[in-house]
Amino acid sequence: MWTPTTRRQYSRDGLRYETDLTNAERALIEPLLPEPHARGRPRRWSTREILNGIFYVLRGGIAWRLPPSDLPPKSTVFRWFSQWWDAGLFETINHLLVMADRERVGREASPTAAVLDSQSVKTTESGGPRGYDAGKKVKGRKRQVLVDTDGRGLILELQ
């Protein structure tokens, strides 16, 4: 429930965009981010700005080529997103945040029960690979999600 205290706590008023990381959010995920290499060219953009660019694109649902000019270049943002996605960084962040949130509300860190749901979505061939869901008689993609009993996302699988 929203109270004046929680509204202040979760306020995003001082940020450039609503998708930007706050200092508290940054502190949670900073230990998981890769350190800069000891050799080679120094990074031009901080990991915080790169994450702000990634979150802006993903939350806004815009194309990778359309971020505002005050965020890092589109090629930089997409390259880091791809590298971190392939390394499983976002899955690790999600896992740790789910465990922390479960402990915050007095539950065990690891859930003992989960709910599985799936959805079939019609697509065209130009939209990428597609399959056939015989149960629903739909040509397209199937999405599956596994959540704990409170609705926290554990695994999201796209097929």
Q: What pTM was computed for the model?
A: 0.76
| CA–CA separation, 99 and 32 (whole Å) | 15
CA angle 8, 93, 141 (to 5 degrees): 110
Residues contacting 159, CB < 8 A, separation 6+: 131, 141, 142, 143, 144
Within a 10 A sphere around the Cβ of 102, how many other Cβ atoms? 17
Give which of 126, 116, 119 is closest to 159, Cα–Cα. 119
DSSP class of residue 64 equals T
Q: Give the pLDDT of the chain (159 residues) as one tens digit per residue.
A: 778 888 887 788 888 888 898 888 889 888 988 888 889 888 899 999 999 999 999 988 889 888 899 999 999 999 999 999 999 999 999 899 899 889 989 999 888 899 988 777 776 666 566 666 666 667 777 778 888 888 888 887 765
Residue ranges covered by each domain of the chain: 15-32+43-87
Q: Are 32 and 89 in contact (CB under 8 A)?
A: yes
| C-alpha distance across the termini of the chain, in Å | 36
Q: Are 159 and 142 in contact (CB under 8 A)?
A: yes
Record the tokens describing residue 116, joined without a space.
Answer: 């599985």
The dihedrals phi and psi of 30, each to the nearest 5 degrees, come to -55, -40
Q: Are 121 and 128 in contact (CB under 8 A)?
A: no
| CA–CA separation, 109 and 115 (whole Å) | 16
